[in-house]
A and B are shown apart, each in its own frame.
Chain A
């Protein structure tokens, strides 16, 4: 990795320059909140955004996607092309970049997902530093720092950005599109001061020591029933989560019944039919078991396979859940035996 500095007022040059080569997607305002959307003018980009309604995963795994068309008569695939235009995701916070790395374990290892892979390969990532909000708890999983998974990472030093360049491509595009200079000792000192201030800004300090042990010990705890009673099984938590990757695949016929579409949509373990199988069996019929499963999978199941928890502490689920259920609250409830 190496480093450059760019003046803050020159940043639009970078965005405009990237736009000449790529589709640039960045945070823009929507009804008082923020979304990642294609940018037509650098002025639309809101780098002061707190978090977005949906995480960047939608640009790799869309909520709904036709993965192929088939002809019914001869059972042949007629179209399975992957739509993966050259794109830059601009302004991702560390949690969201870390979340993509966790998704990679699932979609790029073992059974490689060609749709995800094509988009991942055609997408550059430009990260952006942030300040913790009330719902952020990336600090507890160490996902407040990111060391790879981006091409450029910009840290806001007030009047300038400290640009960490992780890839050759990142260095090239920075050089091509925006005036930049070498890093001075003072820049690096300021960088460290900024990062330190950022780390001081968290107010969620939930204790995650030996979390898998806690989870196993509390497997039959009535806490789960209490949380289950409060849950609406709406699946909002999974939709907004940058690390929830479950999907459903279903075929449907075109109106003429001659050709069909195979469609993939986001799914949620909170839905009643998620664990239903043939003959009407359902492994997780009741709500409590479904909520419990979400936490077990994220903080134990995935961990046992990939040595990381499947959560980056972005707080989106805490904001989206109508019942106010969140990882911080669930872990605290397991620790104290009381749902707050």
Chain B
């Protein structure tokens, strides 16, 4: 029997769910492997009572999200997160850098009133255990398929723990640091194939802090390259402002 899957979105712009529809060539193959019971973006149906795999997109920003995640964890044998928002809190976690009352007032006028049940935005694994993750903003469809097939086969999660520079070197990119530009690849989790540096854009850290990153050494590297070391963390906040909250 094909595993029953639900795809759920928390706070996000649904970009990663849209990205899943971009699988195109392989979408039918992938759908053939699973019994897709609920897909928030693509259907108006209701969440079933039972399912085997829960795929979660989006950051946790409300108490409601917390309850939902607890329910998912209780029901599903496997929880998989997709995208930066779910993985690190993503761009939404930038809200942690400002006074939330002021921010809410600026956006919604009435402020705290509309924000009942709100929570400092954070990643899914701050609330529940996550079995498999597909980091990135947006996710890479190839990585998604690979992680999903690992989940289906019951293979161990192999989210990389090293920084990006090695794969960037294999693409023969001239290092941004040597061109006097900030790049976050030296502390960001690899696995994206260094797409951005290869397209001549510095890494912005969307895949989160590499678990084996050496931040202090990275700051020192910035200094030796004539870059402002405080820029490392300031820029890293773009996708990773929730990191102090959880790590």
B33 cross-chain contacts in A, Cβ below 8 A: 256-257
In addition to A257-B152, A268-B166, A322-B186, 5 A-B residue pairs with Cβ atoms within 8 Å of each other are: A53-B172, A53-B174, A236-B166, A266-B166, A322-B217
Contact partner, B212, options A30, A254, A256, A272, Cβ 8 Å: A272
**B186→A239 contact, CB < 8 A:** no
21 sampled A-B residue pairs with Cβ under 8 A: A32-B174, A33-B174, A35-B172, A53-B174, A58-B170, A232-B186, A236-B165, A236-B168, A239-B170, A240-B169, A252-B149, A255-B145, A256-B32, A257-B29, A257-B33, A268-B166, A272-B161, A272-B212, A322-B175, A322-B225, A324-B224
**A233→B145 contact, CB < 8 A:** no
State which residues 23-42 of A face B: CB under 8 Å. 30-33, 35
**A30→B146 contact, CB < 8 A:** no
List A residues at the B interface (Cβ < 8 Å).
Answer: 30-33, 35, 53-54, 58, 63-64, 229-236, 238-240, 252-257, 266, 268, 271-273, 287, 320, 322-324
B152 cross-chain contacts in A, Cβ below 8 A: 257
**B30→A233 contact, CB < 8 A:** no
**B224→A235 contact, CB < 8 A:** no
Q: B221-239 interface mask toward A, CB cutoff 8 Å, 1 = contact, 0 = none?
A: 1001100000000000000
Contact partner, A234, options B166, B173, B216, B220, Cβ 8 Å: B166
Contact partner, B217, options A239, A266, A323, Cβ 8 Å: A323
A232 cross-chain contacts in B, Cβ below 8 A: 163, 165, 186-187, 213-214, 217-218, 221
**A30→B174 contact, CB < 8 A:** yes
Q: Chain B interface: which size bin?
A: 35 or more
List the count of A-B residue pairs having beta carbons below 8 Å apart: 105
The yes or no answer to B177 lying at the interface (CB within 8 A) is yes
B211 cross-chain contacts in A, Cβ below 8 A: 272
CB distance from B241 to the nearest CB of A (A): 22
A322 cross-chain contacts in B, Cβ below 8 A: 165, 175, 177, 186, 217-218, 221, 225
**B169→A54 contact, CB < 8 A:** yes
Chain B interface, >50% SS class: helix
A240 cross-chain contacts in B, Cβ below 8 A: 169
State which residues 133-177 of B face A: CB under 8 Å. 145-146, 149, 152-153, 161-166, 168-170, 172-175, 177
A54 cross-chain contacts in B, Cβ below 8 A: 169-170, 172
Which residue of the partner chain A has the closest CB to B145? A255
Q: Which 6 A-B pairs have the closest CB atoms?
A: A235-B166, A255-B26, A234-B165, A63-B170, A239-B169, A322-B221
Contact partner, A230, options B163, B173, B212, B217, Cβ 8 Å: B217
Which residue of the partner chain B has the closest CB to A63? B170
- A257-B170 contact, Cβ under 8 Å, with A232-B217, A272-B162, A273-B161: no
Contact partner, A287, options B145, B177, B214, B218, Cβ 8 Å: B214
A268 cross-chain contacts in B, Cβ below 8 A: 166
Which residue of the partner chain B has the closest CB to A267? B166
B177 cross-chain contacts in A, Cβ below 8 A: 322
Which residue of the partner chain A has the closest CB to B25? A255
Q: Please, how many angstroms separate the alpha-carbon atoms of A35 and B211 in the complex? A: 31
Q: Please, how many angstroms separate the alpha-carbon atoms of A231 and B52 in the complex? A: 42
B145 cross-chain contacts in A, Cβ below 8 A: 255
Q: B70-106 interface mask toward A, CB cutoff 8 Å, 1 = contact, 0 = none?
A: 0000000000000000000000000000000000000
Most chain A CB inside 10 Å of its own CB: which residue of B33, B169, B174: B169
- A266-B170 contact, Cβ under 8 Å, with A230-B217, A322-B177: yes
**A255→B162 contact, CB < 8 A:** no
Which residue of the partner chain A has the closest CB to B224? A324
State which residues 120-142 of B face A: CB under 8 Å. none
Q: Please, how many angstroms separate the alpha-carbon atoms of A287 and B211 in the complex? A: 13
Contact partner, A238, options B29, B166, B216, B224, Cβ 8 Å: B166
CB distance from A324 to the nearest CB of B (A): 6
Q: Please, how many angstroms separate the alpha-carbon atoms of A240 and B30 in the complex? A: 37
Q: Please, how many angstroms separate the alpha-carbon atoms of A240 and B214 in the complex? A: 20
Which residue of the partner chain A has the closest CB to B32? A256
